[in-house]
Structure 1
Amino acid sequence: MTALTRLEARPARAESIPTAGSLKNTYAQLLLNVDDAQRKSLARTFLVEQLQQAQDLPEEMPRDLSALPGFVEQHCAQVARQYADYLQQRKDGGPRQFFSNKAHALFFLQAVGPTKLVDGAWLYGLLSHWRDPRFDGLICTYLEELGDGNPAQNHVVIYRKLLAEHGLDDTCALPDERYLQGAIQLALGECSDDFMPEVIGYNLGYEQLPLHLLISAYELSELGIDPYYFTLHVTIDNASTGHAQKAVQSVLQLMPLEGDREEFLRRVAAGYRLNDLGQGSRAIIESFDLEQELLGMLERKRPFGQHMHSDYCRFEGKTVNQWLSSPEQLPGFLSAMENKGWIKRHQDPRGSRFWQMIVGDGAAMFGVFSPYEKQLLHDWIAGDWAPERARPAHRRVVSAARVPELPASDPDVQTLQASLAGLDPHAQMSVLIPWLSAHRHSHPAGLLATRRYIELKSSLR
């Protein structure tokens, strides 16, 4: 079993919690804390803990550098074979292997959001090495994650838009463990000078094309969800000319010519293993339970609705307010509505009175549920029901590449332009780099700073 296959299939494992508190808090502090010293101190402590956590994981990366290109090519070839097998199974009439319904797919998109919304952050700290050509591949990888300053190609802009389209912005209910990989990436970006080999190794592991990316893109499109974020990574992470190939070259180019080469490779391998901490994509997908997600959503809604209903309508002798008075009654409430015929399971949801109150002109509960919450309800009611007319095998959707250009009159843009005025190109680079951080690069000033950084890097070399 290869590292990529194992990573996708691995079960959930216990995680170490950093001394600063929860993983979510660590993630937020590394992303938003404006105190540079505090961020770096937290990042160092957190990385030491996570490296200790990962040290006993199996080592997949070869220590023989001459074997590294072949190792990556073998991964790519295996993924291609596995995906070809998947496509043949689907062509032969096999079901989707990842997402049982649209709500399942949206659950996955939200679950991996904390990682996707800091895409590339582990490479941020390398931007100051723009004079050194050995870092060109890594810096190029980071700039491409930023879309080279084009909002239509900036990975965070694209993913944020995808979440917003489906009402997935609210991450309050996400388990703490969902923030682990994003926190690792932010921490590596803060401490790249102290953990350079680990950054190189993490990048090598992360930039290999995984099978789940291909299958996710196919099934998202099939369910009418824009797969552009995922298809974009399929192309740029290729092992021929893309990020995977650049990752291999970076290991070879940054290996010390003298000194302890074995220690360097040990630390590269340690960084590579950081990719294996936490739940992989397959484990997240397999953790989905439609009814539990529905009940969790209703519990989060319950405090806002338990006093908002009249006593006119009763189910099995109880008013709606009474049913909503405690979370333990929610399963019984759903059963009561089903018994009264307000919910008709395993049928077209449009035939259920409860659904009619949520969707459509004059719906009494219009606006109460977000798009994702409505999808949970829809798919739970539908159950085994499927439309008579089957969906097309692979339907194209509108591409997120059409994200509109962000305004140039933003106050931060004006502040950035004022701070650059009168500075020589080298001084400008120092001003620009903070704007390319994970928290800033997807905003108008960050996009402008990215374009200017690329221009100066090219002209000064």
Structure 2
Amino acid sequence: MAGLYKALRKSRETTPHGSSKAMYFSLLEAAHIKRAGGPCAGFLAAQLQATRGHSTSMPTQAGQLNSWLAAHNETVGRQYQQYLASRQAGGPRRYFHSKAHALYFLRAVAPTKMVDGAWLYGVTRHWQDTRLASLIRIYLEELGDGAEAMNHVALYRKLLRVNGCDDWKTLDDQFFTQGAVQLALAANTETHLPEVIGFNLGYEQLPLHLLITAYELKELNIDPYYFTLHTTIDNAQTGHAHAAVEAVAEAMPLFGDSRQYMARVLAGVKLNDAGLSTLEIIRQFDLQQEVVRILQAKATIGRFMHANRCEIAGKSINAWLADSDQMVPFLHAMEKTGWIKRHHAPEESPFWKTFAGEKAPMFGVFTAYEQQVLYDWIAGDALENMPMLGRLGRPWRMVEKQGLAREAGKNNPHDNVYDLRTGGRIARLPVSHDFNQDQVSFECHVHSMDDGQALMEFLAGWLSPGKHHTPLGLCATRYFKSYLDSPF
């Protein structure tokens, strides 16, 4: 089975224009993503061609978009009510069989969530063009308007860290395609503005899977706030879904041929289908396969860490771990010798005791996510009968995120917003010390700039997908928004 898994994985490793993963990190880490547009133009063209034949319910006339939006939301709402009725009647979860399954999903979609909103970055260079106002508004709100507690990437990064899923950069190539598309749109906005607008229109529509995901994460003691935020901020009446429709009409005057414009917008909508879908990622989870993958990853170091006297089924543990293809037989050997007692409480298995608990000899070897996978696999058929604390962990604590954001603005000495047109500072410049010299230098440089256009160009560089969630990126976002909103 492990050999088959490797073959299937290898078959999806690359796109016709190279590795999605390599493209992803090349664009994310580029000093100037706009200058990286050329090398990824072929990748973007290939994805547009690959999704060209996909179907969509989006109308081809801009005047029909509001009706389409209303009908879509009504359909999704009715489907969600049907889901809730089935759950209240005792039906099982639709997506996640266990907490390990849900955490697998959080980790697998990380490459996309960690560039949330990236496709709109290119419009920040055109901040003076009122025909792009809705798009810029959406992008700044994706960035939390500079408040870390509301910045979507910062929120997801924290969600990953809390659940031990922050090793997402080791995922296979197939998980990076959608994120690479979003970054490629950011890098090629100058030549693909209608496609950016269309992609945004498709992405900001409320999907049924978002509602169900939030509901089931909460059941599994995983904070659903990142997902519930998107069900509110993307609403069709005043939120991003509505603004996305307005953006289509606002930008249309830029193009002489409205029919061709809408055709390109439609192509952008279809780009949302690039790469693995949410449901494909959920469905491909295999608990046994994930256990094998985790042991294979640990074996690269673990094969040197055990004394030769440590044997299972007459073979040293180092010898078992020396060959990654031996992980399935190794698991069988541990079951046969009683080291693992499947379909029982994991605490009854000696293998579990080697790493679970602060006094365990292998404490810290497995992340929280990896321990959850191993727990669910060992418990097997008895999982749902396990105590809730052991099966789901401690309940997540709901935090009033908006209140947290407001308090951050009041108490954080680095939370500076300065109206560069009127000269009014909302927060004073922090005193320089070893932990904030970059912040002070950044603000001094901002205040030394007299040219508004040059200033906004400089700030826009810090709003890039790879920087906006950093302390300086958040600071730049606050300055950018302050300057943009000034009436002078």
TM-score w.r.t. length of structure 2: 0.86
CA distance in 1, matches of 2:127, 2:282: 39
Stretch deviating more after TM superposition (344-353 or 107-116) = 344-353
Q: Provide Cα deviations, 1:67-88, integer angstroms capped at 9, x if missing partner.
A: 2111111111111111111111
Letter in 2 for 1:171: W
Which of 157, 162, 165 is matched with 1:160 structurally?
157
Which runs of structure 2 are paired with 1:9-28 in the superposition (5 Å)?
Answer: 17=15, 19=17, 21-28=18-25
Q: Which residue of 1 aligns with 2:476?
A: 449
Q: CA deviation at 1:421?
A: 2.1
CA distance in 2, matches of 1:297, 1:257: 51
Q: Judging changes above 3 Å, is the alpha-carbon distance between structure 1 residues 258 and 101 closer, same or farther for their aligned structure 2 residues?
A: closer
CA distance in 2, matches of 1:101, 1:52: 37
Q: CA deviation at 1:400?
A: 8.3
Q: Provide Cα deviations, 1:102-142, integer angstroms capped at 9, x if missing partner.
A: 11111111111011001101111111222222222111110
Q: Which residue of 1 aligns with 2:455?
A: 428
**Structure 1 residue 126 and structure 2 residue 126: aligned?**
no
Which runs of structure 2 are paired with 1:11-410 in the superposition (5 Å)?
Answer: 17=15, 19=17, 21-34=18-31, 38-256=35-253, 259-385=256-382, 386-387=384-385, 397-399=397-399, 401=401, 408=414, 410=436
Q: Judging changes above 3 Å, is the alpha-carbon distance between structure 1 residues 15 and 357 closer, same or farther for their aligned structure 2 residues?
A: closer
CA distance in 2, matches of 1:334, 1:263: 58
Q: Which runs of 5+ in 2 are unaligned?
A: 1-10, 415-434
Letter in 2 for 1:437: S
Identity of aligned residues (%): 47
CA distance in 2, matches of 1:37, 1:94: 49
CA distance in 1, matches of 2:374, 2:457: 51
CA contact (8 A) 2:202 2:269 kept: yes
Which of 402, 413, 417 is matched with 2:439 structurally?
413
Letter in 2 for 1:132: D
CA contact (8 A) 1:324 1:330 kept: yes
Q: Provide Cα deviations, 1:406-448, integer angstroms capped at 9, x if missing partner.
A: 7735344233213212323443212211111101100111111
CA contact (8 A) 2:79 2:208 kept: yes
Q: CA deviation at 1:16?
A: 7.2
CA distance in 2, matches of 1:315, 1:432: 59
CA contact (8 A) 1:410 1:445 kept: no
CA distance in 2, matches of 1:174, 1:280: 16
Letter in 1 for 2:15: I
Letter in 2 for 1:242: G
CA distance in 1, matches of 2:326, 2:156: 36
Q: Judging changes above 3 Å, is the alpha-carbon distance between structure 1 residues 338 and 251 closer, same or farther for their aligned structure 2 residues?
A: same
CA distance in 2, matches of 1:427, 1:172: 35
Q: CA deviation at 1:259?
A: 2.1
CA distance in 2, matches of 1:348, 1:399: 32
Q: Judging changes above 3 Å, is the alpha-carbon distance between structure 1 residues 350 and 127 closer, same or farther for their aligned structure 2 residues?
A: same
Aligned length: 447
Letter in 2 for 1:85: Q
Matched residue SS, 1:152: helix
Q: Judging changes above 3 Å, is the alpha-carbon distance between structure 1 residues 163 and 343 closer, same or farther for their aligned structure 2 residues?
A: same
Q: Provide Cα deviations, 1:229-259, integer angstroms capped at 9, x if missing partner.
A: 1011010111111100001111112112872
Q: Judging changes above 3 Å, is the alpha-carbon distance between structure 1 residues 202 and 355 closer, same or farther for their aligned structure 2 residues?
A: same
Letter in 1 for 2:364: G
CA distance in 2, matches of 1:366, 1:311: 20
Supply the RMSD in Å over aligned alpha carbons.
2.4
CA distance in 2, matches of 1:258, 1:125: 18
Q: Judging changes above 3 Å, is the alpha-carbon distance between structure 1 residues 175 and 306 closer, same or farther for their aligned structure 2 residues?
A: same
Q: Provide Cα deviations, 1:181-235, integer angstroms capped at 9, x if missing partner.
A: 1111111112212111111100000000111111111111111111111011010
Matched residue SS, 1:442: coil
TM-score w.r.t. length of structure 1: 0.91
CA contact (8 A) 1:315 1:340 kept: yes
Q: Which residue of 1 aligns with 2:6?
A: none
